[in-house]
Structure 1
């Protein structure tokens, strides 16, 4: 149980509702900031304004998956109120206060460094990323069906990268009958692709490998699908970029060439917000249990 733990949940989308539900069941005391337009309430959770919270009593701050923008503004789907995470606000929390976010940026990094607070990035964790790859794959399948005029079965698909998402994407599209080739740099990844029964290629050869594909699915978070690569693709090719913003595709050139290129980060929150929220909630509840144990240990 999380009895006695004071948690500020600041902003977020439908995924945060699962987090709130889970933490209230565990008896944490929640302060919901940026949820004033939320229809239903949660027992043990209070909808409040940012300036109404006594942050000196807050043990944990839960931010949305994107964290903040580069000015510190937090996305609040359930409110029109602008909410900003400031250095003064974080500094007013107890030294043991932990901030939880999906990802980080330079602004957030600077704040936690200057205030000497701990930041945990949920999407850096293998368990979250692997669980999240399931709705990501389903969302990718949906996009490919919507934006092509051929079946996945028998199509030629290139997956770029064999990370936690790339592996799930490649395996699933192959199971649906696609001819899947996977590009990687690491020799161990090339070996794994071969073991999976898929066709491997080194990314150095990407321009040649995309000459006959129907779909290109990128999972690499830096520019890999360049203008030179796109120029070699058939005109009907669909590019689905799953990398975090700004993606790894030259979208300007793709549009100029007439090739449909879709940037699709955050698919779990779009296609399956309940499941995606439950994944985050389960991991967060364990992390907060660990925080409670640490506090009890330090007080003894």
Structure 2
């Protein structure tokens, strides 16, 4: 187990506040890099520092957001630049971060700073599937003219989130088709009572669909497939970049395509924050 007790959380959205809160409840000494407590978190301890230097010097480890940065220059939801952060941390410190850029990670390694990407943890990915799937269902209910009960839905891919989402949709009474490449995935989907087709045959099912959710981060919803959809079919792409939809074609066809980002943090920030906290705690316990 790592000898880490003092934690500093820097940047991020509401879920990182819940990450901090959860770790504090588990007995860690946690500070939030902020001049004052954020609204709703008055019980949490802000650093009160204007400079990151003194706050970081007090910490055994620093927790960075998910993702670490959105523009490649600044820390996510912070005015602090990545270069400033890198210059601040010292040899022997530890960084826990989500989706850290390789160049930044390399700069930390060169300084003798240990870096752990909690987003790479399998338990985090599995646990995140639930709030992600619930977020998709929320978006669908808000943007469809019909109920999910009885709706014809398709999910491309059959990874962690796709499995949870397909089961949730089916539980709501939707008629769900899984479109995947692996024969084993198709077999598992059918075993679970779902319809299943090879992703190359999705176009045959497309004209019947009311909802199409993509989880594959490569082009699977090409113009040919999109053209087969009815114009009132809602398309939600939750894959990571570069996504799996021909967005230019979708616009030309007049399709409603939604690309929600960071669904766990938007749908259930407290649950998402606790999931991150658990992943960080597991890393600390494993001590590697």
TM norm structure 1: 0.84
- Which structure is richer in relative contact order (CA contacts within 8 A, separation 6 or more)? 2
**1:16 corresponds to:** 16
**1:207 corresponds to:** 203
Which region of structure 1 is more displaced relative to structure 2, 212-221 or 30-39?
A: 30-39
**1:89 corresponds to:** 86
**1:7 corresponds to:** 7
Where does structure 2 lack aligned partners over 5 or more consecutive residues? none
* Equivalent-residue separation in structure 2 for 1:260 and 1:55 (angstroms): 45
CA contact under 8 A between 2:67 and 2:100: conserved in structure 1? yes
CA contact under 8 A between 2:34 and 2:46: conserved in structure 1? no
CA contact under 8 A between 1:2 and 1:26: conserved in structure 2? no
* Equivalent-residue separation in structure 1 for 2:105 and 2:53 (angstroms): 25
Where does structure 1 lack aligned partners over 5 or more consecutive residues? 295-300
> Which aligned pairs between 1:1-300 and structure 2 lie closer than 5 A?
5-34=5-34, 36=36, 38-39=38-39, 40-42=41-43, 46-53=47-54, 55=56, 58-76=59-77, 82-86=79-83, 89=86, 92-95=89-92, 97-115=93-111, 117-291=113-287
CA contact under 8 A between 2:31 and 2:44: conserved in structure 1? no
* Residue 246 of structure 1: how far off its partner (Å): 4.5
Secondary structure of the residue that 1:61 maps to in structure 2?
strand
Deviations for 1:243-274, whole angstroms, at most 9, x for unmatched residues?
12442222222122111000013111112111
* Equivalent-residue separation in structure 2 for 1:175 and 1:252 (angstroms): 33
Q: Name the CA shift for 1:199/1:122 in 2 (closer, same or farther; >3 Å).
A: same
Give the aligned length: 287
TM norm structure 2: 0.88
**1:297 corresponds to:** none
* Equivalent-residue separation in structure 2 for 1:35 and 1:267 (angstroms): 28
CA contact under 8 A between 1:8 and 1:60: conserved in structure 2? yes
CA contact under 8 A between 2:217 and 2:244: conserved in structure 1? yes
* Equivalent-residue separation in structure 1 for 2:180 and 2:107 (angstroms): 35
* Residue 62 of structure 1: how far off its partner (Å): 1.0
Secondary structure of the residue that 2:207 maps to in structure 1?
coil
* Residue 223 of structure 1: how far off its partner (Å): 2.4
CA contact under 8 A between 1:10 and 1:63: conserved in structure 2? yes
Q: Name the CA shift for 1:285/1:145 in 2 (closer, same or farther; >3 Å).
A: same
